[in-house]
């Protein structure tokens, strides 16, 4: 009799397992001023991406934060050679990291994805996917330096 190989199914990422704590609300509370600096949906999405990067860096141990921040800044510099605001971006990330640590020091959820969804000309909704499982997050984010 032939032996049947069983495939192990990866665990699913569970989104919003704590209905009383919605990550989209936390991100909005944490970074709405920063996100609102964007003049349109695309710019707001870029600011949201920066805020999520800062959130994930803040979740690292203190000894790993600086290295992760350097990696993100260097990547930003390489992918945006025509932009001269690298120092401003770094400053913003540092402020957001500190703000996350002050506002939500015990929340260690890793943000996997976040999107801006326009509702009207002046309003938008933030949708966030997050997980507590660091190994799953690494697999999904493919070795993101902020983990």
What residue ranges do the domains of the chain occupy?
23-141
pLDDT digits (tens, 9 = 90+) for 95-132: 999 999 999 999 999 999 999 999 988 889 999 999 88
Return the pLDDT at 9.
44
In degrees and rounded to multiples of 5, residue 126 shows phi and psi of -105, 130
Where does the pLDDT of residue 134 fall: very low under 50, low under 70, confident under 90, or very high at 90 and above? Answer: confident
Distance CA 94, CA 89 (A): 9
Q: Is there a contact between 25 and 1 (Cβ–Cβ < 8 Å)? A: no
Query: 27 vs 8, 77, 108, CA distance in Å?
Result: 34, 25, 13
pLDDT digits (tens, 9 = 90+) for 23-51: 999 999 999 999 999 999 999 999 999 99
């Amino acid at each position: 009799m032939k032996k049947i190989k069983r495939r192990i199914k990866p665990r699913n990422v569970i989104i919003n397992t704590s209905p009383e704590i919605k990550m989209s609300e936390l991100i909005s509370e944490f970074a709405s001023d920063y996100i609102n600096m964007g003049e349109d949906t695309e710019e707001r999405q870029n600011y949201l991406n920066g805020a999520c990067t800062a959130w994930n860096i803040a979740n690292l141990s203190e000894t790993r934060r600086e290295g992760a921040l350097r990696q993100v800044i260097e990547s930003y510099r390489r992918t945006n050679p025509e932009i001269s605001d690298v120092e401003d971006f770094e400053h913003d990330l540092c402020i957001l990291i500190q703000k996350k640590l002050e506002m939500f020091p015990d929340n260690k959820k890793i943000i996997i994805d976040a999107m801006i969804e326009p509702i009207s000309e002046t309003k938008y909704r933030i949708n966030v996917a997050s997980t507590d499982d660091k190994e799953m997050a690494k697999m999904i984010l493919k070795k993101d330096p902020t983990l």
